[in-house]
Amino acid sequence: MPPVGWLTGGVDYKSLSWTLKEPVVEIVDGTQQIVLPAVTVNYGSFINNVITFLIIAWAVFMLVKAINTAERRLWREEKSPDAPPPPEDVRLLREIRDALVKSS
């Protein structure tokens, strides 16, 4: 998250929270003791997790896209341009198939 923090001017998203109820503090023998902790909604952690997820999802998407492009190029190179034409019966079956598709 350092690049995101740098882009946003050093805002620390993990420390952002909304306090619903303040903590209950008692003073016993001159020392403060927290009886009930504060009730907070830590939306900064959620924002941090969303940004992290988006960065990882983008990286995985780019990786899969690169692999698919490389695979397509590999299959294109494997096809030989000097392949013999298909037999006559295969050509006729293809023509019949195409005619049926057009009539549907």
pLDDT in tens, 78-103: 666 677 788 999 999 999 999 999 98
In this prediction, residue 45 carries a pLDDT of: 87
Distance of CA 90 to the CA centre of its chain: 45
In this prediction, residue 80 carries a pLDDT of: 61
In this prediction, residue 49 carries a pLDDT of: 86
Classify the phi-psi angles of 12: left when phi > 0, otherwise alpha if psi is within -120 to 50, otherwise beta: beta
Domain with 31 in it:
2-103
Instruction: Give, for 58, the enclosing helix (H) or strand (E).
Output: helix 43-78
- Least confidently predicted of 33-37, 38-42, 67-71: 33-37
- Least confidently predicted of 4-13, 25-34, 46-55: 4-13
Amino acid at site 73: R
Q: For the chain, what is the domain count?
A: 1
CA distance 103 to 33: 85
Which one has a higher pLDDT value, 17 or 2?
Answer: 17
Closest listed residue to residue 40, CA positions, set 23, 55, 53? 23
